Structure 1
Amino acid sequence: MSHDTSEAYTAFVGTRQLAAGSLIDVALAVKAVEGDDADAPILAFDDATGSVVDLDLRGTTAEIVARLSERKKGETATAEAQAASDTDAVPRGRGRPKLGVIAREVTLLPRHWDWLSAQPGGASQVLRRLVDEARRSNAGQTEVKSAREAAYRFLHALAGDLPGFEDVIRSLFAGHEQDFADRMNPWPPDVKRYALKLATRSGPLLADRERN
């Protein structure tokens, strides 16, 4: 039975992938294996960050599902309330639609405010333009680095004792995708597959992307 799949998680029994899907589906898969007295450590990972997820598996299946569903509802309600608060904080003229503009505090030195004041279009327009230009020049570097860090968190938690771990990590952060993959060849295939999935989720793991 499949539950909410808006977020993705993956669980491992030792170095073997056990389950992948929503947090509820993964939690129930882990619960079932724990009931069989698994002889290897069981870890669940957040696909977005590569971090280990703590699972509260107390009680019955129904209790676990209810608890995780309530947690999800609480997180969603909090996010929606924050978004509504941010949007409502933006002054609007009569008939002016909400354009997704969010008002938040910006702290600058006097010289920065002086420079912004002298620019055409006002401070907000200038700041938006500067941010857009920085994002374009970034060329996806932030996403690439985030993906590498996610892969590192996973590997550090699960593969730290595997042979050649340090060389694998060096290849990861050097951006050498083929070398990164090749050095994991002696490892269990599920570990290699998931590490590559995390590391390349935003595109090829190429050092050249950071030099261009």
Structure 2
Amino acid sequence: MSDYLSKLCTAFVGTEQLAAGSLIDVALAIKAAEGDRADASILVFDDATGSVVDLDLRGTTAEVVVRLSERGKRETAAARTQTASDTDAEPRGRGRPKLGVVAREVTLLPRHWEWLSAQPGGTSQVLRRLVDAARRSDGGQTQAKAAREAAYRFLNALAGDLPGFEDTIRSLFAGEDRDFADRMNAWPPDVRRHALKLATGSCPPRAPQEPDPTIR
């Protein structure tokens, strides 16, 4: 199964969770519930980013599967083409293995280039070491920021009209986890539960995962 079809998503009917799992499973669950919720507004969210996923569920179940599978193939092919192009753009020495190296343009000031050129191992190796060191010293801040932004995207799409929304979002970005959770106590439980999962980064990017029963 392609990355596109296997990425984790969660579907909501209004403020009630309808389905969660891989994109293909969520799409089929929505299709199966179509008759009972013909007039309902259904939104599907990417668990990794909190963004709304646009799904074309017209036609029969078989047609939906074919359409999603074809899109998955296109996205996989495009990603492979981009990776191959980026990797080939960087010259390789004799016997150098392909380790997923991706070439990108880097813009630096003259003093930066001067410092890099004086370091042992070459510019690329120095930059990699600097990036790795920054990641180790980051203390999870980048991941925490991404999790808060994912929670915001989800809440902005689904909970903008709920009471105390603005104060809740302020608590989210201030890193006041307890206050953030407390301000959602009166909100629909499925919305609160999923927002907490996103905000704490407990929604993995790929492998399927059941909703966390410990979050209330």
Q: TM-score range by the shorter chain?
A: 0.7 to 0.9
Deviation at residue 89 of structure 1 after TM alignment: 3.2
**Is 1:47 equivalent to 2:47 in the alignment?**
yes
Q: Residues 188 and 32 of structure 1: is their aligned pair in 2 closer, same or farther, counting only changes over 3 Å?
A: same
Structure 1: 4+ residue segments shifted above 6 A: none
Matches within 5 A, 1:16-165: 16-165=16-165
Check 1:42–1:100 CA distance in 2 against 1; reply closer, same or farther (3 A cut): closer
Amino acid at match of 1:104: R
Of 154-163 and 125-134, deviating more is 125-134
CA shift, 1:66, in A, is 0.2
30 and 99 in structure 1: CA distance in 2 versus 1, 3 angstrom threshold: closer
Q: Shift in Å at residue 146 of structure 1?
A: 0.6
Instruction: Tell me by how many angstroms 1:104 deviates.
Output: 2.4
Alignment-derived partner of residue 193 in structure 2: 193
Give the match's secondary structure for 2:161: coil
TM-fit CA distance, 1:119: 2.6
Cα-to-partner distance string for 1:116-169 (whole Å, 9 max, x where unaligned)? 222333222221222122212221111111110100111111111111212211
Query: Across the two proteins, how many residue pairs are aligned to each other?
Result: 200
SS in 2 for 1:12: strand
Secondary structure, in 3 states, of the residue corresponding to 2:34?
helix
Change (3 A) 1:15 1:182: same
Q: Quick check: 1:24–1:68 contact (8 Å CA) kept in 2?
A: yes
Unpaired stretches in structure 1, ≥5 consecutive residues:
204-212
The question of whether the paired residues in 2 share the 8 Å contact of 1:5 and 1:21 is answered with no
* Change beyond 3 A, Cα 1:5–1:77: closer
| Partner amino acid, structure 2, of 1:169 | I
Greater relative contact order, per chain length (Cα 8 Å cut-off, separation 6+): 2
Q: Decide which moves more: 138-147 or 102-111.
A: 102-111
Instruction: Give the whole-Å Cα distance in 2 for the aligned partners of 1:6 and 1:54.
Output: 15
The worse-fitting range, judged by mean Cα deviation, of 95-104 and 60-69 is 95-104
Q: Percent identity over the alignment? A: 81
Task: Give CA deviations for 1:51-101 in whole Å, capped at 9, x if unaligned.
Answer: 111111111111111000110111111112222232333333333322333
Aligned residue type for 1:148 = R
Q: 1:32 is aligned with what amino acid?
A: A
- The question of whether the paired residues in 1 share the 8 Å contact of 2:12 and 2:42 is answered with yes
Measured after TM superposition, the shift of residue 5 of structure 1 is 6.2
2:181 paired residue number: 181
Provide the rounded CA distance (Å) in 2 between the counterparts of 1:101 and 1:15: 43
Write the distance in 2 (CA, Å) between the matches of 1:176 and 1:70. Answer: 43
Question: Normalising by the residue count of structure 1, what TM-score does the alignment of the two structures yield?
Answer: 0.85
Whole-angstrom CA distance in 2 between matches of 1:40 and 1:101 = 46
Task: Give the 3-state SS of the residue equivalent to 1:34 in structure 2.
Answer: coil
Q: Quick check: 2:11–2:18 contact (8 Å CA) kept in 1?
A: yes
- Alpha-carbon distance in structure 1 between the residues aligned to 2:194 and 2:8: 13
Moved more, 4-13 or 31-40: 31-40
Aligned in 2, Cα 1:133/1:50: closer, same or farther, shift over 3 Å?
Answer: same
The answer to whether the Cα contact below 8 Å between 2:5 and 2:69 also exists between their aligned partners in 1 is no
Q: Give 5+ residue unaligned stretches, structure 2.
A: 204-216
Aligned to 1:209: none
Aligned-partner Cα distance in 1 for 2:104–2:160 = 41
Letter aligned with residue 178 of structure 1: R
- Normalising by structure 2, we get a TM-score of 0.84
